[in-house]
Structure 1
Amino acid sequence: MTILVPQFPPLMKGLAAGPANPMTIACTEAARGTDAGLLPWSLTEERLRAALVLAPEEPLHSAMAAFCACGVGLQNAIGALAPPETAVHLEWTGGIRLNGGHCGGLHVAASSRDPASMPDWIVIGLELTLSLPDSDQLEPGQTPEWTALAHEGCGDIDPLALLESWARHSLVWLHELDSASGRANLYREWKGLVWKLGETVTVPLPDARPQGIFLGVDEDFGMVLKPETGDTCLIPLTTLLEEV
């Protein structure tokens, strides 16, 4: 049965965005002082988009763990609805990999870009490719770098059911971060899902593309990168913050 209106947990409030960008709406409403839990969403035949407003109570560098929590929540959501052989991986920069191919990504914005500041709000955005344009006439496996749920055996998943599942699983992990061992628990789950951990990667940042071996992360999920030449460096997760 097709779900016409998604049902979210009590702490979240859905808002149908129509053709508008949910990330833009969420950031605008957050700046106006809306309560945490607002979740604008938009759905077309080809794409599912959503954004979640959060109100952290810790410095930005630490609060950015919510970005990883929502990523794990998405993997859990897809894993609960997709065929068991479906592989979901999370790129450190937010990209979503489905059976190895790009299938969308997570985005993040905040009221401040100062890692030491106490942000008024953080917005985590989600974008998933449901199907590729008909004009491409693509077959499964034909485009290893770009794919869609429908091309990876997930075409029967109701996208709004997936959105509901993402909201529920993300909320579980966001609440987990409030516990004494929550960050360690999130790391253990996240570590098994990260794309190219321990391998040589090129990191697509807004103003650079550093390359090196992805050694791991620090306590705030910042990337520890070992270049071919030079010293090991740390790329803070706050580097991924997008302009509002």
Structure 2
Amino acid sequence: MKRWLLALTALVLVACNGLQGPGSPGTSSPWREVSSGTSDTLTGVAYGNGVFVAVGGASGKSTILVSRDGQSWTRVSYDAQSFLNGIAYDNGLFVAVGFDETILISPDGYSWTKVHGTGSALQYLNGVAYGGGRWVATGAFSQLLVSQDAGASAWQRVDLNAWELVGVVYGNGRFVVSGQLGHLFTSTDGLAWQAVSSGTDANLGNAVFGGVKCCPEFGPPQERGQGV
């Protein structure tokens, strides 16, 4: 299966204005590379409750790293035995999603609980976002999972007419979901969705909200990493 994937592989980049960067000798860069302590693929990162949390994994396992300063990272011992594709923080809760439709929740980034999973590697979730008192997770084969519980403990399935759904964001009172072949959908409640024209048939990846606009990333699809 293909998707547009921004992978943070075995490293974390930290914004530190004025510090020496990995570019040309003698030049200044706002970024510097720090060790993550793992060679596993990292696919997402979120900040909340005073900690950064990065997620990813390798074949048949999950990887969760935590850091209070973005520079020193510690691996959490919890393993959901599923590769994790995305993470978000909102409403006092981290929610991570991945293969086997795995959904994990944590209030602090250290202690995790698995609240959903199918056990089928053919079903996977790509992204997750919170808004309007509910969570929405995007997935393969036109599947969405929606939790009307702000604590993300119970989920229901919503089917959209699209091949693969990748990005999801909430802003200005609505969710926007992006996916392959230029698919875009909007919803005010996460349950009833309307398809809107993106003006492209390119694969759309993650979406972001900047206070005024919602901007999906797009580009040529790339193969998933090894073991994903």
- Say which structure, 1 or 2, has more relative contact order (CA 8 Å, 6+ apart): 1
Q: Which structure shows the bigger proportion of residues in strand conformation?
A: 2
**TM-score range with shorter-chain normalisation?**
under 0.3
Q: Which structure shows the bigger proportion of residues in helix conformation?
A: 1
The TM-score normalised by the length of structure 1 is: 0.25
